[in-house]
């Protein structure tokens, strides 16, 4: 059996003249939390719907749990949260799960564990209508967990939640990952995938443009050098490291190199008669990487909204 729970090859969906998803090769390994990262409209929801058999691809193939999308036996082992989950407003959270358990033919004994996992045990007898958005979303996760699924597919699970609700949901997702669940989740927030995910696939304008672990995508850090005169310093460092890896930002040089290079670079600058005023090491964030990836492309710019200074949002 393949090591991948999800595997697509050249998966494509075309609506009219619009390529919503283009030639997508995506692989999700057993036991990982895979973040499908991209701005709104990049094609995340369309991909997830194809994986669940809700819409048909225009071309290309997909296998989910070793079966074609929509295969009933495979669907029985997939927990999903795609679009707002529908619950009966006048039933309690627990009774809603009872209805679903009966419908999915799973034992009611799973309900307690699911409520516990999403931290709703103390509010289980309250009516769904009285739940906060975060609680409603967590009940959606509990519903997805009822089947004790091999794979969870979650489309923007934190979408629309307030900061506290987002933090709860992220903790929940990471906790499920730590407990060994395989999760494919989509997000437009860099900080979110950085916090939750083991591996990330970046989708931009319908195509997967990069895939790797968060560390691989970050590709190490950057050495920041404040020197005088700066232009002479730039010439010196461009002889020492790949010139493409040297940029000038905010009046200082930013070098994509290794931390160990710092001493050598400092020495060479001093020997060249340049004053080195400051030399610091900065970890690259996924935001840096995402901006590099997307601005390399001659396409419309991605706006980086920041509703919260701690939140990096690529909508």
Ligand X SMILES: Nc1ncnc2c1ncn2[C@@H]1O[C@H](COP(=O)(O)OP(=O)(O)OP(=O)(O)O)[C@@H](O)[C@H]1O
Residues that bind ligand X (CB under 6 A): 15, 18, 20, 38, 40-46, 156, 188
CB of 221 to ligand X, least distance (A): 29
β-strands 151-154, 78-81 pairing: parallel
Q: Which of 38, 30, 285, 78 is nearest to 177 (CA)?
A: 30
Cβ closest to ligand X, residue 27 vs residue 44? 44
Q: What share of the chain is helix, strand, coil (3-state, %, to 5)?
A: 35, 30, 35
CA dist 199 and 217 (Å) reads: 9
CB of 18 to ligand X, least distance (A): 6
- Across 65-115, the runs of DSSP E, i.e. the strands, are 78-81
CB of 269 to ligand X, least distance (A): 45
Cβ closest to ligand X, residue 15 vs residue 88? 15
CA dist 38 and 36 (Å) reads: 7
Cβ closest to ligand X, residue 192 vs residue 234? 192
CB of 188 to ligand X, least distance (A): 6
Cβ closest to ligand X, residue 136 vs residue 188? 188
Cβ closest to ligand X, residue 38 vs residue 221? 38
CA dist 96 and 111 (Å) reads: 10
CB of 179 to ligand X, least distance (A): 27
CB of 189 to ligand X, least distance (A): 11
CB of 63 to ligand X, least distance (A): 20
Cβ closest to ligand X, residue 153 vs residue 222? 153
CA dist 146 and 157 (Å) reads: 17
Helical segments of 224-283, H only? 230-240, 261-271
CA dist 263 and 259 (Å) reads: 9
Q: How far apart are the first and last CA of the chain?
A: 37
- Tokens linked to 201: 């696939």
Cβ closest to ligand X, residue 208 vs residue 246? 208
The CA-based angle 246-248-253, given to 5 degrees, is 70
């Amino acid at each position: 059996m393949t090591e991948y729970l999800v595997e697509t090859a050249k998966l494509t969906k075309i609506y009219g003249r619009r390529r919503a998803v283009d030639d997508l090769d995506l692989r999700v390994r057993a036991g990982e939390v895979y973040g499908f990262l991209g701005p709104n409209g990049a094609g995340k929801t369309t991909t997830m719907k194809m994986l669940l058999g809700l819409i048909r691809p225009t071309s290309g193939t997909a296998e989910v749990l070793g079966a074609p999308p929509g295969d009933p036996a495979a669907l029985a082992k997939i927990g999903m949260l795609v679009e707002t989950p529908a619950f009966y407003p006048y039933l309690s959270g627990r009774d809603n799960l009872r209805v679903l358990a009966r419908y999915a033919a799973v034992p009611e004994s799973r309900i307690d564990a699911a409520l516990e996992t999403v931290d709703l045990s103390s509010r289980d007898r309250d009516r769904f209508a009285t739940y906060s958005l975060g609680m409603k979303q967590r009940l959606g996760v509990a519903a997805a967990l009822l089947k004790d699924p091999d794979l969870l597919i979650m489309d923007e699970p934190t979408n629309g939640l307030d900061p506290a609700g987002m933090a709860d949901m992220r903790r929940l997702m990471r906790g499920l990952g730590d407990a060994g669940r395989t999760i494919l989740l989509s997000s437009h927030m860099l900080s979110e995938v950085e916090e939750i995910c083991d591996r990330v696939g970046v989708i931009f304008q319908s195509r997967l443009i990069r895939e790797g672990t968060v560390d691989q995508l970050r590709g190490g850090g950057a050495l920041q050098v404040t020197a005088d005169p700066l232009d002479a310093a730039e010439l010196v460092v461009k002889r020492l490291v790949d010139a493409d890896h040297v940029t000038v930002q905010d009046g200082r040089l930013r070098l994509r190199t290794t931390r160990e290079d710092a001493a050598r670079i400092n020495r060479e600058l001093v020997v060249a008669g340049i004053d080195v005023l400051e030399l610091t090491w900065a970890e690259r964030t996924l935001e840096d990487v995402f901006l590099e990836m997307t601005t390399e492309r001659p396409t419309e710019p991605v706006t980086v909204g920041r509703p919260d200074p701690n939140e990096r949002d690529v909508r």
